[in-house]
Structure 1
């Protein structure tokens, strides 16, 4: 746990709504599941024994209280935020919003606790500019999923769309944000060359891994092989792995690779994933000895896999983009 002017900092504050996900998988099978970025993020944190405070709101109709370690605020006169995600039309999902719960206000963050990392992970406009400012005041590192800032909804069709980042009321806060994460389609709504001057931008690109853009440098972070079953929570699991890596003291490169690892694990299951002891064991040395992961090819298998290397052996720029072995 870090200190800020002598004050002990708690691990993480996570702000965003839980939701009901109605998912149509590529084969046409329909699944109802617990959703919301906060559910995927706290799932990874729990697997890594990383504690968090969660600020989230749901309606009295919320179905998944028994699955949660971090209960939400229940607003009796509201319905739980609801999304309909259709993956049958190709690579990009068709996303509609149903009910939307009321926003999270600055006063809802009631604790005077100071945090090492604050994650703004709204899904339906629930994180207001003033709420993000409150998070900035309470957190040493602030990580934002850009969908929390840019999502809009058609009032008739309920289709989810995006607006350009510079058109949002959050734009003037960028210089106070440590990292923003954008999916490939979201990145096209960001002027990367301008935004990277204010904050570090991480773009996730599915099976192609991710890319980190700082003010003066950029790094491509290689992916892990995975069988894509349900990509719903991949970006959220990436963000959790990345943030946990930062909390553990890893470099941005190492933390992003850790994010790629959890993103790959997430797509292989429907809904919030479960991690096997074997999968977590691969991260044990990573966490306990603060080493990095790099790719190499082993002569005994003839195929690529990952090895653990000391921090000072890690590359600092573009690296081999071969994938590690399947998870």
Structure 2
């Protein structure tokens, strides 16, 4: 365990690996858990992270969050290579799996629980473990696997129906399903609220049979890394606060758009950006 004395209740619980991503400038902290935690902190929530990583990973950028950590020999480590035909991703190391036994008792009734796997590390049974919480998903890590040379590629998600039926909302990228609309249609039969992000084109939100598109404002893009995770965390928090998916998507769209103007974790929202996004209106296309 890490940074858990005393173990206080949290408002937003994120379960997923913190990663050590390989870049030209050396290893940097990444993973859905990092971006989601910093976003929820900026909005003003008490944040808990359940994760597994090596003891030497630098966690200074997560100050303010409480972390329940299972020690692992390695931190989950990704390498992304940009090519003319798109991104090639490699998974060099994988930390230990995550299950309910790692969740402190005082976190088990957190108002918002975000399951954010990045490499098949989150036990699908966790979707049913928080009956009094708003359980939310970013299922990217259940939709990909890797081969013997560590190259990451898409895969089927056999537990999809079980997990989705026990969740309040899910956010995923169109890239997570390789643009296959039939996969999205199958998901929609199991969950009431589903958001599909589409990079600079924004997102589409399905809610009880209705569909709306949300287009972001035009901004200079420096680095889109983590924008989808920032969108998801902002959406889940605002959904809990308002019970209005349309408003949650509007709010999340603004913060995700801001994020691409700065590199890496620096793209997570500032307190001022959160306050502005609560007031600004952006058009729905």
Determine if the TM-score, normalized by the shorter chain, exceeds 0.5. yes
Superposed CA RMSD? 2.3
| Rounded Cα–Cα distance in structure 1 between residues aligned with 2:31 and 2:161 | 24
Unaligned runs of 5+ in 1: 1-8, 24-28, 287-292, 296-318, 322-327
When Rg is computed on C-alpha atoms for both structures, the one with the higher figure is 1
**Match 2:75 to one of 71, 80, 84:** 80
1:193 matched to 2:185: yes
**TM-score normalised by L of structure 1:** 0.75
Cα distance change of structure 1 residues 50 and 89 upon mapping to structure 2, 3 Å threshold? farther
State the SS of the aligned residue for 2:111: strand
Give CA deviations for 1:64-99 in whole Å, capped at 9, x if unaligned: 122223354454552111111223536x42211111
The CA deviation string for residues 147-172 of structure 1, in whole angstroms up to 9 with x for no partner, is 1321211122x11112133xx23432
Mapping of residues 23-62 of structure 1, within 5 Å:
23=23, 30=25, 32-62=27-57
Match of 1:163 among 155, 164, 171: 155
Structure 1 or 2: larger helix share?
2
Give 1:98's match in structure 2, choosing from 85, 92, 99. Answer: 92
Partner of 1:22: 22
Q: Secondary structure at the match of 1:248?
A: helix
Name stretches of at least 5 consecutive residues in structure 2 with no aligned partner: 1-8
Listed as ranges, the matches of 1:112-191 within 5 Å are: 112=106, 113-134=108-129, 136-137=130-131, 139=133, 141-156=134-149, 158-165=150-157, 168-187=158-177, 188-189=179-180, 191=183
Distance in 1 (alpha carbons) for counterparts of 2:275 and 2:167: 32
Match of 1:299 in 2: none
d(CA) in 1 for partners of 2:165, 2:243: 22
Counterparts of 1:14 and 1:144, CA distance in 2: 10
Q: Using the alignment, how far apart are the partners of 2:245 and 2:207 within structure 1?
A: 10
Which fold has the larger relative contact order, with Cα–Cα distance below 8 Å and residues 6 or more apart in sequence? 2
CA contact (8 A) 1:125 1:149 kept: yes
Q: What number of residue pairs does the alignment pair up?
A: 271
1:133 CA displacement: 2.9
Alignment counterpart, residue 202 of structure 1, candidates 183, 187, 195: 195
Distance in 1 (CA, whole Å) between partners of 2:53 and 2:72 is 10
